[in-house]
Structure formats: C-alpha cells, structure tokens
Amino acid sequence: MTLNETHDVSHTSWVDSANAPGSDFTIQNLPYGVFRRKDSTDPFRIGVAIGDQILDLQAAFQAGLFAGEAREAAALVQGATLNAFMGAGQKAWGALRLALSRVLRSGSKDQTARAGLLVAQADADMALPARIGDYTDFFTSIHHATSVGKLFRPDNPLMPNYKYVPIAYHGRSSSIGVSGQSFPRPLGQTMPPGATAPSFGASKRLDYELELAVWVGSGNAQGARISIDRAEAHAFGMCLLNDWSARDVQAWEYQPLGPFLGKNFASTISPWVVTMEALEPFRTAWIRPQADPQPLPYLDSPENRVGGAIDIAVEAWLQTSRMKQAAIAPQRLSRSSFRHAYWTVAQMLTHHTVGGCNLQPGDLLGTGTQSGPTPEEAGSLLELSVGGKQSLQLPDGETRTFLEDHDTLTLKAYCEATGRARVGFGACSGTVLPAL
C-alpha cells in the first residue's frame, strides 16, 4: 500500500467529534464494526466509526451514497458480519474507504441529510465484527517470551526455536467475545508449590495479556502458500485482543503440547477493526539484531525489512470493584508498542500457510502479549508481579499480583506521529466474575 488522499491530515469531518484532540476515530481512521441500537432486538448491521458516532452502512447504501466500485464494495457490507467484505480483497477495501472518506469529509454535499444516517456510539450495542472460523495466537514478543520463560524455565528461558519460527498455538474461537465481556473465573487442575499431587479448583493466578490481533481478509486455497511479498494483501485489519490466562492452570498443563484450559475459557476483542490501510502511515523498519539468526528466506523480504513493523502504542488499565464504587478512575498498568515485535504481520501470515494451511476471511491471528524491552512495558501481571512475588500498588491502597473477582481490565491502542492524524482502536474491556 501507499499513502493516498484518505491519509491527508488536512481533512476534517463534518462530524465534529471526529476532529477533537485525542479522538480515536478521526476521518483518517474509519474502522468497521457491527452494531445495533442499544437494548433493541433489531438485526445487527455493519457501520463505520467516526468520532463518537457510527455511520450506518446499510442506510448509507440505501440512500445511494456510493457509486461504481464503491457501490459494489458497499453491497458486501449489508449483512451482520464483515466476512464477505473481508474476502473481497484490497481493491474493494480501498474503493469503499475512499468513498467513505469523501462522504464524511467537511464540505461534503448534503451533509445535513447524511447526519440522519448516524447512530451515537453511546446508543449502540456492539457484536463480533466477523464470524471467526479459526483463531491462532502467536508469540511475537521476544521480551515477553524471555520474561515468562525465566519464570517457568529459569535454566532455559528462551527455547532455541524461538528466533527461527513464529511460534503459535491454536486457540478456541467459540469463547471470543467483544468488549464488555464478563466471564466466571475458570476452574482447573493446578500443582501448588511443594505439593506432590495436583488439586482442583478455581484459578488463583488469573491474568490478562495485552495483545493485538490481525483479521484475515482474502484467504488461500488449501496447499497454496501465501508468499511474504503478498502476505500483506491478505491482512484486512487489526483489533485489540485480551487473551485471558489462568497462569496456575497453564503452568501445570502446558508441557508438552502447550496451552489448553489455561486459555480456552475467554478471550476479549475490541469491536472496531482498524484497516491495514489506515495503519499505513505508522509503518516503520523491522530490524532483526545482527547477532541473532536472520529469517529463513521464505520469511524475509526487502519490503518487510523496510516497513513490516507498525508503531502501535498499547496500554493496559485496571479498575477494581472498590475503585468503581469510590469513582476512582482506572490505573494504567503498562504501556508498550507493537514496533517491538520480533515477528511481523507478514511473517505470521506466511508462516501460518507455509505447510499448506488454508486461511479464510474472518480468521483471527493474535500477536501474543506485546511486552517491550523495559520492565514497565510488560504486558501481563505475570511479568509485572515477577510471578506473583511483587505486589502492584493501586491508588486506593489495594494491591494486586493477579486479578481478583469483579476487576475490570481495559486495553487501549492508538497510533500517533508528527505530521500524521491519530488512529485509535477504542477500548477492549472485560470483567472477571466469581467462579461458578
């Protein structure tokens, strides 16, 4: 992709809230989501976030706002999921984005009439943006991999394959929910320190994971590999992902086959899909340290080196039940960036298909916890508390090593750079309920 008029920082929107400082949903963003009016039984439909509003794409289509290639693309967003549009490819995605930019731009004709096509985000309920056929969670932060490895395997923190292979496991798509999800504390087997046999009960070491996720756009036939020079064309967009983790369950079960019950009880994603085109201005060089093994040829390309990384700031915020009752704002636990990832979006897609796996529109690829190189950039409580050995102090005097019942954990992400318009992801919140 290249920059085009949809990225022009001089453009503003006739939706005033999109122009406010710090707005996640500027006219240069235009992310897609699935919504309906709050507390209604209306069918869910597809919309685009602009400021604090949602442009109803079904209503916009019926109002005749699109023509030519954009109208053909808009015909694919008339249902309750984005899968058909995701599978249409970059040409369709670009045509509709350009049309939406022009429709929502300041000075657009008939903007008074078009204001009737808006629904306030505060008045909407959100659903999963697409039908998720499959979900794979990668392990792209070498800082997270090393920190966690030191806790689980002090003598061998980083497995020798990590610097050669984009490691991943196959997750459970049925338990993925949209922001606002609440779930009961999971049960499972754990091996308490000093015990000679496992016990069964509620997890005592419940954690969050500060992640992003990639939505697959156009897929590939079984056996047809996606080459790294074409991989980005198969990525539709990104969202936030919290892969909740029961660390005590995970520690007992993960060898030799990896995560199972420690991960499959809940994962939460943000409702808005920020397109790869919207993220284009924030690409940066992907650099593999010279002392490290360089990627095998199928995972390497000049384009990936020059712009495979994306500078997306990611944050985790905690609000306890007591903080809510006292009207104390959430506290930020950590902040990092996706630019630190050891593996890129293109490398994840390429490696996933190199053996012949067929990806489909709407498949979700998690990036893994996005921890940075410094301790305050850790993307999980497991790291921040050093395996539960150091408590985090909260503003009301409470402490945490792991999540307690009724805690709400919120992830945020955004891109900001000099000379660029802000592009945000909105919030990804989830609340822990007592075990059943």
Q: Write down the domain spans for the chain.
A: 5-127, 135-433
Q: For 158-199, how does the pLDDT look when each residue is reduced to its tens digit (9 = 90+)?
A: 999 999 999 999 999 999 999 999 999 999 999 998 999 999
Q: How far, CA to CA in Å, does 89 sit from each of 79, 237, 280, 309?
A: 18, 12, 16, 21
pLDDT at 65: 95
pLDDT at 7: 98
pLDDT at 359: 98
Distance, CA of 375 to CA of 260 (rounded, Å): 27
How confident is the model over 390-419, as a mean pLDDT? 97
Distance, CA of 208 to CA of 76 (rounded, Å): 35
pLDDT at 112: 83
Sheet strand arrangement including 53-56: 118-120, 53-56, 45-50, 32-37, 124-127
Domain 135-433 has CATH 3.30.70.20: no
Active site (annotated) includes residue 144: yes
Per-residue pLDDT at 153 exceeds 90: no
Half-sphere exposure of 99 (CA within 13 A, CB side): 22
Per-residue pLDDT at 401 exceeds 90: yes
User: What three-state secondary structure class fits 149?
Assistant: helix
How confident is the model over 295-314, as a mean pLDDT? 98
Per-residue pLDDT at 381 exceeds 80: yes
User: What mean pLDDT value characterizes the chain?
Assistant: 97
Per-residue pLDDT at 421 exceeds 90: yes
How confident is the model over 332-349, as a mean pLDDT? 98
Instruction: Name the band, by pLDDT with cuts 50, 70 and 90, for residue 152.
Output: confident
**Model-wide pTM > 0.85:** yes
Ramachandran assignment for 403, one of left (phi > 0), alpha (psi -120 to 50 degrees), beta (any other): beta
pLDDT at 113: 84
pLDDT at 45: 98
Active-site entry in 7, 11, 143, 144: 144
CA-wise closest residue to 110 among 60, 69, 58, 70: 60
* Consecutive H or E run containing 249: helix 247-253
* Consecutive H or E run containing 316: strand 313-319
pLDDT at 211: 98
Per-residue pLDDT at 1 exceeds 80: no
- Spell out where 84-234 has E strands: 118-120, 124-127, 135-138, 168-170, 176-178, 181-184, 187-190, 199-202, 206-207, 210-216
Distance, CA of 129 to CA of 428 (rounded, Å): 13
Q: Which residues pair with 375 in a beta bridge?
A: none
Token pair of 79 as six digits: 């249902």
pLDDT at 61: 97
User: What three-state secondary structure class fits 49?
Assistant: strand
Instruction: Name the band, by pLDDT with cuts 50, 70 and 90, for residue 154.
Output: confident
Instruction: Name the band, by pLDDT with cuts 50, 70 and 90, for residue 156.
Output: confident
Per-residue pLDDT at 419 exceeds 80: yes
Instruction: Name the band, by pLDDT with cuts 50, 70 and 90, for residue 155.
Output: confident
Q: For 5-127, which CATH class?
A: mainly beta
Per-residue pLDDT at 344 exceeds 90: yes
Are 364 and 176 within 8 A, CB to CB?
A: yes
pLDDT at 321: 98
pLDDT at 109: 84
Instruction: Name the band, by pLDDT with cuts 50, 70 and 90, for residue 56.
Output: very high
Instruction: Name the band, by pLDDT with cuts 50, 70 and 90, for residue 110.
Output: confident
CA-wise closest residue to 269 among 180, 198, 204: 180
Q: Is the peptide bond before 256 cis (omega within 30 degrees of 0)?
A: yes
pLDDT at 260: 96
Are 314 and 379 within 8 A, CB to CB?
A: yes
CA-wise closest residue to 348 among 234, 272, 187: 234
Instruction: Name the band, by pLDDT with cuts 50, 70 and 90, for residue 2.
Output: confident
**What percent of the chain is modeled with pLDDT above 90?**
94
